[in-house]
Structure 1
Amino acid sequence: MIYQFTIVVPVYNEEDNLKRVEKELGNYLDIAIMSTSILFVNDGSKDSSQDLIEDICNRNEAFNFISFKDNRGLSAAIKAGFDHVTAPLVGYIDSDLQTAPQDFNLLLEQIDNFELVTGVRANRKDSFVKNMSSKIANGIRRAFTKDGMDDTGCPLKVIRTEYAKRIPMFKGLHRFLPAMILLQNGRITQIPVQHFPRLAGEAKFGLWNRLLGPLSDCFAYLWMKRKYINYEVAKKG
């Protein structure tokens, strides 16, 4: 089957969440507004996540996976997903399911006019410290990138695959996806989406990852922006 949309699901030690992921994403496939497949990217999990992923893929034709030899981080997992997708549209959702797969339809309804549509988590169900650190980090990133996005860390996005594949790889990439599309002269927008508390497993990011790490990444982004190569072919012959 030829799919129009593929959802990348990075996984790192999420054995307690994966059965729920299978159920929720399976339910979404029944209501998706276009033909959709799922691509798990196992980021070197140390628990039984890989066995569960293989069982899920054996049960569901639209589910596939790739698995890293070692843990390489969220940005590497997302980039690997982009590299392996063949559908014209690619999405991304975290395996903790703090965002709702059905909200992909809200983003897909807008994608015809944009190269990236990202969610904005409304009424976030996180701790005060997590919410405040994310707010500060987003403010810092906006000051550096001028992307106008309120919640670049929201793990619910849809991107045109041709643009996603041209995003250069570096650690912290997942925080700068809208800005990297702007570097390609792409159009971006944000849509409010649902947010839920984490029901199982452990969060993979602490205060450093959410606040201090992104600050240093902003300087890497500014360097890349100065050096970024972008061109359009006028004629071929």
Structure 2
Amino acid sequence: MTDKVIQYSIVVPLYNEELVVKETYKRLKSVMDSTGENYEIIFVNDGSRDKTAVITKEICDRDKKIKFISFSRNFGHQLAITAGMDNSSGNAVVVIDADLQDPPEVILKMIEKWKEGYEVVYGQRAKRKGETFFKKLTARIFYRMLNSMTDIDIPVDTGDFRLIDRKVCDALKTVPERNRYVRGLISWLGFKQIGVQFIREERFAGETKYPLKKMVEFATDAITSFSYKPLKLAMYSGSIISIISFVYLIFVIIQKLFTNGIVAGWTSLVALMLFFNGVILMILGIMGEYIGRIYDEAKGRPLYIIGEKKGF
């Protein structure tokens, strides 16, 4: 491993991972040393509030292959991945979370596929251990719904665990959008890609960093970043409701003029008003999501702010 050229860059986003970061380093080092090629491991601290930064800096001081980036505050998982990629120098870049649910040993299989000529090698979950039925079900529904709503092929049952070629990483740098869904952006870029199946393990330690609220926000970012179909759905829903309302209005007028029927009273009127007002607010909410993202892009702020770097 005397070659000065870095062959592999391993990007590891960190957020409150003090219980697992040492084991993550140990496993990654063992796997990458077995390749016999030069590598770097880039730990990106995303504003952790525990001892994650302290522990990682100690590792960085002991091992020259370790590089450390720390944000000035919490900017989010996707931007931590982005920062690691932006500061990487390897011919191939691997993204892996610190929780060890994605086994580092799978990286060796990804390297094999990369050497065969594939430019994107993504990890595809054949089985998910330690996750609730609800999470498995919602994840399965989300990935398939997203794939059906977009014009690009985003592989199902995949996360950010993947290897990308240097040319893919450089191309990704030219995509500066802020509400990022990195795995979708990589699929949007194109390039020759293939999946490697693996069994996703339980977390080594600590708690998940994606509770239900963050999962919903992440799903919203993914859908609004790659599909206009929610806006079309809002338009179609509004059109259908308008037509139904117009037909009902004609029916009420005819009933009033030509029959002795009695028009329904306040209860039905209030129910209809609440229903239509709810639909209108839903449509406005969908539009607001897209407008909010336009506003974020228009501000032109940096994607992230680095507070500290070591090992570079």
- TM range, smaller chain: 0.7 to 0.9
Identify unmatched segments of 5+ residues in structure 1: 224-237
Q: TM-score, normalised by structure 1?
A: 0.85
1:37-116 matches, within 5 Å, as: 37-112=40-115, 113-116=117-120
* Aligned counterpart in structure 1 of residue 179 of structure 2, from 156, 167, 171: 171
Identify unmatched segments of 5+ residues in structure 2: 229-312
In structure 1, what residue type is equivalent to 2:127?
N
Q: CA deviation at 1:107?
A: 0.8
The range that moved more, 35-44 or 206-215, is: 206-215
CA distance in 2, matches of 1:213, 1:26: 30
SS at match of 2:29: helix
SS at match of 2:105: helix
Q: CA deviation at 1:216?
A: 4.7
Counterpart residue number, 2:155 = 149
Identity %: 30
* Aligned counterpart in structure 1 of residue 32 of structure 2, from 26, 29, 33: 29
Q: CA deviation at 1:176?
A: 1.3
CA distance in 2, matches of 1:207, 1:85: 31
Q: Structure 1 residues 145 and 70, CA, compared in 2 at 3 Å: closer, same or farther?
A: farther
Q: TM-score, normalised by structure 2?
A: 0.66
Counterpart residue number, 2:270 = none
In structure 1, what residue type is equivalent to 2:6?
Y
More helix by share: 2
* Aligned counterpart in structure 2 of residue 129 of structure 1, from 134, 138, 149: 134
* Cα RMSD (Å): 1.9
Moved over 6 A (4+): none
**2:222 is the counterpart of 1:214:** no
- Rg: which structure is higher? 2
The range that moved more, 140-149 or 36-45, is: 140-149
CA distance in 1, matches of 2:154, 2:56: 36
Q: CA deviation at 1:207?
A: 2.6
Q: Structure 1 residues 72 and 146, CA, compared in 2 at 3 Å: closer, same or farther?
A: same
SS at match of 1:105: helix
SS at match of 1:72: coil
CA deviation string 1:103-143 (max 9, x = no partner): 10101111142221101122211221221121111112211
SS at match of 1:176: helix
* Aligned counterpart in structure 2 of residue 181 of structure 1, from 167, 170, 189: 189
In structure 2, what residue type is equivalent to 1:190?
G
Q: CA deviation at 1:28?
A: 1.1
Contact 2:154/2:187, CA 8 A, preserved across alignment: no
